Amino acid sequence: MPTVGIPPAAPVSSRPGRRGLVGVLVTALAAALLAVVPAAQAQAAPVLLSQGKPVTASSEEHYGTPATAAVDGDNGTRWSSAAADPQWIRVDLGAPAPLSRVELRWEAAYAKSYRIETSQNGSDWSTAHSTTTGAGGTETVNISGTARYVRMLGTARATGYGYSLWEFKVYGTTGDGPGPVIPGGGDLGPNVHVFDPSTPGIQAKLDQVFEEQESAQFGSGRHAFLFKPGTYDDLNAQIGFYTQILGLGLRPDDTTINGDITVDAGWFNGNATQNFWRGAENLAVNPVSGTNRWAVSQASSFRRMHVKGGLNLAPNGYGWASGGYIADSKIDGQVGNYSQQQWYTRDSSIGGWSNSVWNQAFSGVEGAPATSFPEPRYTTLDTTPISREKPFLYLDGDEYKVFAPAKRTNARGTTWANGTPQGESIPLDEFYVVKPGATAATINAALAQGLHLLFTPGVYHVDRTINVNRADTIVLGLGLATIIPDNGVTAMKVADVDGVRLAGFLIDAGPVNSPTLLEIGQQGASADHAANPTTVQDVYIRIGGAGAGKATTSMVVNSHDTIIDHTWVWRADHGEGVGWETNRADYGVRVNGDDVLATGLFVEHFNKYDVEWYGERGRTIFYQNEKAYDAPNQAAIQNGATKGYAAYRVDDSVDTHEAWGLGSYCNYNVDSSIRQDRGFKAPVKPGVKFHSLLVVSLGGMGHYNHVINDTGASTVPAGTTTVPSTVVSYP
């Protein structure tokens, strides 16, 4: 974010029609949770190896029954082949693994004769099982040996149709061989500070951590403050970098702080544009002065909060501030926006809102101002089309659980206004509690065992990809837990399965270039997840700043129906390891999946396109962007005949797309003569619509010629520096 701004204010191609042939969704867990036994005494039972892995087939009946549907963990989707013999389906486990059994869950069109075959290289096959009396239904076949590839080769059909499998499951142990069962649950580690109203020295502990974290923008400290239900008097919880404060009740009002939860900018001379990476959740606060101060910028969430008074989003002295996010919260009084350049509020209730600066967006917010863009610059949707709140840790008596809120459609207001929210509670002993020092191998073994993940505050280096392959898996971080991929691996990949929830962690690129940092679904993902989408919430990605980092594309979303709910994807413009080639990162977010919804999308400073959208029927509510400050000259960002890469590009192949409340800013501080032809680029089609767009030149350091395509005034004319050029609707 800039340290310049406005003057301080006064008090891959889509697959249309993919759903028509998909059966009724029946989500099922594919691997049973294993009994927790002492690690030293137990050996790993067989685990599901195939789910979400790359899969190919000899043929597909039609585009609604792809091979991927047989390894997606969903008993309502299937692979079916052409009506001919022989036919096969093959799964690549990624590495050789000891095998124990194969489960075939047939649809009505099954195999009378088939073989289960294994291979080390995908070319030379050995028969592990053969039958000429296949019975259909669910068949379990015991096999043995070690192999990377497993296939079902059908040689004679039982019906006149092709072969059809709901699920093709391969079980075994990981390639590392048998190992101890990983226990779930346990303590939350040294950087989680748990209080109840009788705990002595709460204020002293809050102050100690704040002193360590106030200006530690790129430090390694990570902390979470957990407040048990009850009332806490006379506290001022100042929240610094990589610090999270949260209540442990099911509703915010279960835990009340009579005092303040404060973010200010004294460490940066009253400038809040670098107040990143922190959060407050699930608390009620009675501010001492009647107004709580929360002066933040990117990667700072305010969720499930009840402010019994007003909320001031500006630092003391009304210095610069540059964006944040509120969801599922109630602010009884007015929200004082003041100098906040942009902000997004979702599914909440507020007593009022003041000031608009550049870009203020609301969806599903009771009390929000009406749309009045371009002046005041408010963009308001009455409801949020689809939302599902972030999972959170809470106490049920003395037992820790994670609550996973239910999906809502056309949501408005909080989930908790009328009592206990809808959703599912999951005991902590179904989570692997990840602590500093844990390896990627152990994390993956826990996932393969059927456990969810709870990352405690810390920094985690991973030398291999974390693979989330099971439907409905939760990966939840506390205290901005940070994952750093080593040796150029992708930090995390999620299979094309239902209902995975990623929340509350930071991925920090390593010095060796990673092709991607986070992938949701594999390339060509085709399953329908409308009933149970994957969510990405308060998941932040950083390239550089804490040290040199590189990644070609930060986030790739291949799975349909994914919800990206508040993310900051940032190629660093300051800190260590920063330079046009030093922290090279060409692309920020690429969306290939259909029906993807982004609510609160912050993507900044990439060498080329910040956001590229290839999927059909995508929607974005609120987008904030800055182009890369450090482009050395015009030639460095030349895109063929086009000056610069758009901040947000919808591919020409897309027929339907809609977005509301988008802003892009330039601050070309190396070469202020740089021109950007446009902030936004999209095909001119009836189904592609944009609402409330703006571009801004910060301090006259570079300029935009247009807002979107060839529409919208240039920022060049005198008097328009830091004054937006706006487009109310396009086309």
Residue in 596, 605, 532, 619 with CA at minimum distance from that of residue 570: 605
3-state secondary structure 139-175: EEEECCCEEEEEEEEEEEECCCCCCEEEEEEEEECCC
Nearest to 458 by CA among 435, 491, 490, 486: 435
Please give the Cα distance from 55 to 289 (Å, whole number).
Answer: 60
Cα 1 from chain centroid (whole Å): 21
Catalytic-role residue among 103, 612, 626, 658: 626
Examine residue 8 and say whether the peptide bond preceding it is cis (omega within 30 degrees of 0): no
* Pairing relationship of beta strands 501-508 and 399-405 according to DSSP bridges: unpaired
Q: Catalytic: 103?
A: no
Q: Where are the beta strands (DSSP E) in 200-312?
A: 223-227, 230-238, 243-247, 255-262, 278-281, 284-286, 291-293, 300-303, 306-307, 310-312
For residue 271, give the nearest of 281, 279, 263 by alpha carbon: 263
Decide: helix, strand or coil at residue 449. Answer: helix
Q: Are 726 and 694 in contact (CB under 8 A)?
A: yes
Q: Which two tokens mark 463?
A: 């030398």
User: Three-class SS of residue 207?
Assistant: helix
Listed residue (455, 464, 521, 518) closest to 488, CA to CA = 464
- Residue 332 to residue 700: CA distance in whole angstroms: 39
Which DSSP symbol is given to 16?
T
Name the residue among 215, 342, 206, 207 with its Cα closest to residue 277. Answer: 215
Where in the sequence numbering do the catalytic residues fall?
626
